[in-house]
Amino acid sequence: MSWRLGVVGYPIEHSISPAIHQAALDRLGIDGRYERWSVAPGALAAWAAGLRAPDLLGANVTIPHKEALLPLLDALDPSARQVGAVNTVLKQDGRLVGANTDAAGFALALGDAGYAPASGEAVMLGAGGAARAVGHALLAAGVRRLAIFNRDAARGQALASALRQQAPQRGGQGARADDRSRPLIEAFALDAPDLDARLARCELLVNTTSVGMRPGERLLRPDQVPGGALVVDIIYRPAETPLLADARARGARTQNGLPMLVYQAAIAFERWTGRKPPLDVMFAAARQALA
Ligand code: ATR
């Protein structure tokens, strides 16, 4: 049988997932076609029903469907339950199972950048869907202090409390609420006075907002960008956002969103096919699609 896979979103024209996955399928000689599905929110339920076709091996899910798809699936695996969003649909014994590979993909990307949480603080800009996955990955990686800054302060607070519920608790089930082993997770408005001090002392800064996709767009003044930190922007187009250019100019180590994008794809690919993903081929396809 020839397999079908694909990515659903709205809009979806600019997704480079087809290039990344098709290159991997072709390299491994898997008879499969990875498609691009443009589905408006009102048509999502009908589209999800079509996933039950026997030749459909799996799907990726992107904006704006990552949360809306949850109730349309038969089950969620722990990765999707923890993050509260689905970016990958698996078929297991004919059942549609939602998974999330964004958090694990971000964790692998951080590893590539040589980041290992030390005693310092991580600062995350944004509190949307991408921030949920990144925040979860940071805590799973062992970050002990996380400061979230978001334009909408209430949304930042809501994410902080969701992450506190999920945060690994070394004390186990009986741990007390004031257990010191718990990470400290705080949230502030983007214009809060705490921003400068937190940036100055952080060891990791991650932008999860969409600010920086357009030329000259930045949330921070260049002089606020920490020169001694690792600065990660999950945007991959452009390859260097104004934030990353400022960080580089100030001597910071930087990483854009391409490694996270490729790793989340690779993890999904392995779950669908059971085959070791050809990472070099996937990275090359992503770079070529963006060139
Ligand atoms: P995604 O799934 O990509 O994370 P999202 O859930 O819409 O998308 O979240 C977008 C994030 O970018 C949010 O943190 C948003 O801030 P608000 O919660 O205050 O809306 C942030 N964002 C987008 N445009 C912004 C801007 N011009 N200034 C500051 N933050 C912005």
Shared domain for 251 and 109, answered yes or no, is: yes
CB 157 within 8 A of CB 135: no
Chain centre distance of CA 263: 10
Total domains present in the chain: 2
Q: Please report the DSSP string for 241-255 in residue order.
A: -HHHHHHHHTT-EEE
Shared domain for 247 and 267, answered yes or no, is: no
84 Cα to the center of ligand 1, angstroms: 17
* Digit-coded pLDDT (tens) for 73-110: 999 999 999 999 999 999 999 999 999 999 999 999 99
* Digit-coded pLDDT (tens) for 193-245: 999 999 999 999 999 999 999 999 999 999 999 999 999 999 999 999 999 99
Shared domain for 271 and 154, answered yes or no, is: no
**Which structural domain, as residue segments, surrounds residue 144?**
104-256
The answer on pLDDT for 12 being more than 60 is: yes
pLDDT band at 118 (very low <50, low <70, confident <90, very high): confident
pLDDT band at 181 (very low <50, low <70, confident <90, very high): confident
Largest Cα span, the chain: 60
Shared domain for 251 and 154, answered yes or no, is: yes
In this prediction, residue 178 carries a pLDDT of 54
Give the residue, by CA position, lying nearest to ligand 1 atom 12. Answer: 209
Shared domain for 186 and 85, answered yes or no, is: no
Shared domain for 140 and 62, answered yes or no, is: no
Ligand 1 nearest atom to the CA of residue 130, by list position: 4
* Digit-coded pLDDT (tens) for 36-87: 999 999 999 999 999 999 999 999 999 999 999 999 999 999 999 999 999 9
Any idea what the CATH number is for the domain that residue 195 is in? Answer: 3.40.50.720
Give the residue, by CA position, lying nearest to ligand 1 atom 31. Answer: 209
Q: What letter does residue 33 receive in the DSSP assignment? A: E
In this prediction, residue 171 carries a pLDDT of 45
Whether ligand 1 lies within 6 angstroms of the CB of 64 is answered as no
In this prediction, residue 109 carries a pLDDT of 98
Contact partners, residue 72, CB within 8 Å, separation at least 6 = 44, 45, 48, 96
**Residue pointed to by tokens 């606020």:** 224
Residue 66 appears among annotated catalytic residues = yes
Ligand 1 nearest atom to the CA of residue 190, by list position: 29
Instruction: Choose the residue to mutate in 62, 125, 136, 151 for probing ligand 1, maximizing ligand atoms within 8 Å of C-beta.
Output: 151
pLDDT band at 169 (very low <50, low <70, confident <90, very high): low
Any idea what the CATH number is for the domain that residue 95 is in? Answer: 3.40.50.10860
Whether ligand 1 lies within 6 angstroms of the CB of 207 is answered as no
Segment 147-160 mean pLDDT: 98
In this prediction, residue 172 carries a pLDDT of 47
Give the residue, by CA position, lying nearest to ligand 1 atom 11. Answer: 209
pLDDT band at 1 (very low <50, low <70, confident <90, very high): confident
The answer on pLDDT for 246 being more than 70 is: yes
Give the residue, by CA position, lying nearest to ligand 1 atom 27. Answer: 211
Shared domain for 81 and 176, answered yes or no, is: no
128 Cα to the center of ligand 1, angstroms: 6
Shared domain for 161 and 200, answered yes or no, is: yes
Nearest to 148 by CA among 111, 203, 190, 177: 190
Integer Cα distance of 169 and 184 in angstroms = 12
Ligand 1 nearest atom to the CA of residue 156, by list position: 18
Shared domain for 154 and 79, answered yes or no, is: no
